[in-house]
Structures are given as C-alpha cells and as structure tokens.
Amino acid sequence: MTHYLRSLLLVSLIAISASCSPAFAHDKKLDPAKYVTHSITVNGAVEKKLVLRVEDLRQFPPQKVAELPLICQSGANVGNLENFKGVLLRDILEKAVVVSRDHNDVKKTVIIATASDDYKVVFSWSELFNSPVGDGVMVFFEKDGKALADDEGRIAMISSKDLRTGPRHVKWLKSIEVKKIAD
C-alpha cells in the first residue's frame, strides 16, 4: 500500500470515528478518567427524584445483551458492545414516577439523558413506554462481569433497538431529566 493510500485510509477512519464518538463530536482532548460518573440523577417531572449508584441499579430487574453492533449515524459499523448488563430506562422511570396531571401529559414528555461531557440524547415517553424501542433502552454498568472501564464511565446508556445504535450510546451517563415540552 502506498503512503498516499495509507494516509487516505487513516483520514477516513478518523472521520468515521469522529462521526460516531461523542468524545470526538465535542472536539475535546479526551482524558476518560475525568468524565467517569459513579451515580446518575433522575429529576424533572418526576414524583421522586432519584440518585442511583451502580449498587442501586443492581436492585432493578437485570437485562443482559450478548452482542450489539455499534452503528454510527453514517451507517458504518464501528465495533460491538459485548456481554453487558444493565437495567431498562423504563424501569428507572417507573420508580421515579413520571408526573402526569392528565391523560395526555405523557404524550408531551421527553426524557433527556446527559453525559458528564454534556453529550445529550432524547427519547419520547411514547418511545419508551409504547414501542419496541423501550424494550432496548438500557442503562448499563457491567461488561464481561466487570465494572465499566473509564472509556465508558461506570454508568452508560444504549438504545439497542435503534437501527443506528451509536448516536444514542451515552458514555459517562450523569443524569436523566424528564421534561414536559408542550402545554
């Protein structure tokens, strides 16, 4: 392979990585250890504000996934998440109890997951509680029977039922905010 082709391949791989990785998307010099989170806060339009550590998450019904391809927004497969364990976001929200003053309030509710590097993803209440997507939105804390490494944080999130799983892969998860977006 010529030097030109190797350089072109390297630039292409960097571009693909940049379009798939929250860390690159924020254009930061990344020191993963500085972003590690040890708990998540669930707040906003909930009856019970929660602060959950890994030990607390272990009390929820466990979910396990053997293998999940990470597909970035461009459609490129950038690897796999393997042998990870966590809990459904829906179960966490049920414990916090989403506020609904009338029947239609939940239809105007979004859930915003935020990482310690300020990467954010959004889910609608309907996605989580009224579609197959909700069966795959996991807050996870373990891979291969071990705590997550610094490059994921101790707590992360993935939407495993998405066609492109990368954009809603949240490393270093720090908060989940429930918000009513319309009156």
Model's pTM, two decimal places?
0.83
Q: Is the dihedral of CA 125, 126, 130, 131 positive or negative?
A: negative
Class of domain 3-180: alpha beta
- Distance from chain centroid for Cα 137: 8
Domain boundaries, given as residue ranges, for the chain:
3-180
- The residues, ordered by sequence, that sit 6+ positions from 4 with a Cβ below 8 Å of its Cβ are none
Q: What is the pLDDT along the chain (183 residues), one digit of tens a residue?
A: 444 334 333 333 333 344 454 433 444 457 888 999 999 999 999 999 999 999 999 999 999 999 898 899 999 988 888 899 999 999 999 999 999 988 888 999 999 999 999 999 999 999 999 999 999 999 999 999 999 999 999 999 999 999 999 999 999 999 999 999 977
Tell me the residue type at 82: E
177, 45, 50, 41: which is closest to 100 by C-alpha? 45
